[in-house]
């Protein structure tokens, strides 16, 4: 969307209250969704729960294609469709709910910087492990990604997605990295997050912000997703304050699902 159209849409958005039937779309939970998409989706769900806005989660095989930007998750609110955490945060801010209002300019700069760190390192590492590591791609990513489709579409779509992701990795210079280096990067990122969090309950002390939602989404998904090996989860587990952070948010915001989740 061009900037003018975006501004216009957010003005319209501001006029309407949050409807009862807001829906969040993501790929199929059991069979299709992959680590990176699951992490992004959980981050958005956490953010919405933190704002106290109810949303129904709807799993569709073609969620990626329905999304206006090609990325999941996206939310359907009233007659608007918004995808990805960044635009969703802005959209919800236009509706009058915001978690980061209490921050001053320097803190807001820090929050944005840390969100970029998570996107730059964790999300890219997740994509790399899923699609550029041949073993994981063959065993897990391709079969899962193409599971709702029949032959030959499943092969075509899976390879197309893999090619796209590899091209992107090439463009940003990650294609030359080995898996060990990627794990090392994840470890450094977790170390930075751990040092920033310290002993506080949330990143900006008392109140959760979108940064907390984003970090929770990624870390929780990494901890609870079964990959070909557990090295990624081990890297995260070595930082105890991050573990307790995830646990705390899980307890606070996902109480009713407590039975089905375990860290």
Partner 1 sequence: MAEPMELLCWGGDWDLPSVHTDSLIVLTYAKFSGAKLAVKSIDWTWRTITASVPQLHYEGSTVTEPTQILNFLRKQRFNADYELTAKQGADTMAYIALLEEKLRPALLHTFWVDTENYANLTRPWFTSHSPFPLNFFVPGRQASLALSRILLTKAESPLLNITEVEGKIYSEAKECLNLLSHRLGNFHFFFGDTPTSLDAFVFGHIAPLIKAPLPSGQLQKHLNQLDNLCQFCNAILKNYFNASAEKRTDCSPTTIHDPVDANLQKLTQLVNKESNLIEKMDDNLRSSPQHRPHRHESKPLALAGERNSTPHS
Q: Which residues bind partner 1 (CB under 8 A)?
A: 2-3, 68-71, 105-106, 108-110, 112-114, 116-117, 119-121, 167-168, 171-173, 188-189, 191-193, 195-196, 198
**Smallest distance from the beta carbon of 211 to partner 1, in angstroms?**
10
In order, the DSSP letters of 50-105 are HHT---EEEE-TTHHHHSSSS-S-EEEETTEEEESHHHHHHHHHHTT--SSTT--H
**Smallest distance from the beta carbon of 52 to partner 1, in angstroms?**
27
Q: Which is closer to partner 1, CB of 113 or CB of 263?
A: 113
Q: What is the 3-state secondary structure (H, E, C) of 119-163?
A: HHHHHHHHHHHHHCCHHHHHHHHHHHHCCCCCCCHHHHHHHHHHH
The token pair that represents 54 in the structure block = 């109810």
Q: Which is closer to partner 1, CB of 115 or CB of 140?
A: 115
Q: Which is closer to partner 1, CB of 115 or CB of 223?
A: 115
**Smallest distance from the beta carbon of 98 to partner 1, in angstroms?**
16
Q: Answer whether 33's CB lies under 8 Å from 123's CB.
A: no
**Smallest distance from the beta carbon of 226 to partner 1, in angstroms?**
28
As a whole number of angstroms, the distance between CA 155 and CA 103 comes to 48
Q: Which is closer to partner 1, CB of 65 or CB of 151?
A: 65
**Smallest distance from the beta carbon of 120 to partner 1, in angstroms?**
4
Q: Which is closer to partner 1, CB of 46 or CB of 67?
A: 67
């Amino acid at each position: 969307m061009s900037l003018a159209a975006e501004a216009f849409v957010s003005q319209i958005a501001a006029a309407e209250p949050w409807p009862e039937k807001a829906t969040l779309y993501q790929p199929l939970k059991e069979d299709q969704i992959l680590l990176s998409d699951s992490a992004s989706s959980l981050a958005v769900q956490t953010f919405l729960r933190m704002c106290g806005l109810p949303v129904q989660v709807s799993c569709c095989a073609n969620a990626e294609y329905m999304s206006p930007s090609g990325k999941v998750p996206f939310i359907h609110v009233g007659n608007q469709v918004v995808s990805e955490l960044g635009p969703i945060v802005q959209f919800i801010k236009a509706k009058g709910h915001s978690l980061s209002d209490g921050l001053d300019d320097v803190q807001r700069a820090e929050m944005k910087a840390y969100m970029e760190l998570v996107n730059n390192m964790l999300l890219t590492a997740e994509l790399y492990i899923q699609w550029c590591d041949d073993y994981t791609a063959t065993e897990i990513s391709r079969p899962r990604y193409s599971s709702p489709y029949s032959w030959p579409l499943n092969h075509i779509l899976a390879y197309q997605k893999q090619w796209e992701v590899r091209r992107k990795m090439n463009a940003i210079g990650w294609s030359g990295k080995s898996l060990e280096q990627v794990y090392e990067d994840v470890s450094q990122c977790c170390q930075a997050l751990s040092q920033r969090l310290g002993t506080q309950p949330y990143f900006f002390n008392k109140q959760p912000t979108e940064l907390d939602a984003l970090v929770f989404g990624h870390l929780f998904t990494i901890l609870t997703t079964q990959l070909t090996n557990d090295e990624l989860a081990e890297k995260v587990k070595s930082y105890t304050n991050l573990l307790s952070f995830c646990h705390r948010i899980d307890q606070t915001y996902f109480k009713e699902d407590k039975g089905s989740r375990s860290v």
